[in-house]
Amino acid sequence: MSGAKVLCLSLALTVYCADGLIVGGKGLSGILKKDTGSPEPVQENLPSLLLTSTEEKAIENVVQQLKGRADATASKSSLSFKDTRTQPQAPPSQIQTPGRHSALALYSTKLDPVLVRPNAGKGSEKIKYGLTVMNFYGAELKRHTFHVDMVMSLRWNDTRVIGLIPAGHEKMSMAWSQALDLVWMPGIVVTNRDIEMYEIVSASVTIFRTGEVLRVERAQAKCLNKFELSAYPFDTQHLKIKISSSKYMANEVALVPDKNVSAVKENIFGLYKLKHFEARSYETADGYLLKSRGVLDVEVKRGIKKYYEDHLVPSFILLTISWAVFYFPFATNPFITPRLALSILALLSFTTLLVKSSKELPGSAPFNWNDLFNQQIQTFMFLTIILNIGSEVAFHHFQEEQLARWINNEAKVIMPCLSAVNIIAILGGATSDYMTLETATHGAKASVFIVMGSYVFYISYGVYNRNFKKSPRRLSQGEEADCDADAGDADCGM
Q: Which residues of the chain have pLDDT under 50?
A: 4, 7, 11, 15-50, 74, 76-109, 471-479, 481-483, 485-494
- pLDDT attached to residue 71: 59
- pLDDT attached to residue 494: 40
pLDDT tens sequence across 139-149: 999 999 999 99
What one-character DSSP code corresponds to residue 278? E
The β-bridge partners of 219 are 150, 200
* Domains of the chain, earliest start first: 3-107 (no CATH), 125-302 (2.70.170.10), 305-472 (1.20.58.390)
- pLDDT attached to residue 80: 42
- pLDDT attached to residue 60: 67
- pLDDT attached to residue 393: 87
- pLDDT attached to residue 333: 74
Angstrom CA distances, 278 to 166, 212, 262, 281, stand at 39, 25, 8, 10
Which is it for strands 145-157 and 193-208: parallel, antiparallel or unpaired? Answer: unpaired
Q: CB within 8 A of 179, min separation 6: which ones?
A: 185, 205, 215
Lay out the sheet containing 236-245: strands in order across.
188-190, 236-245, 289-302, 272-286
- pLDDT attached to residue 68: 62
pLDDT tens sequence across 236-286: 999 999 999 999 999 999 999 998 999 999 899 999 999 999 999 999 999
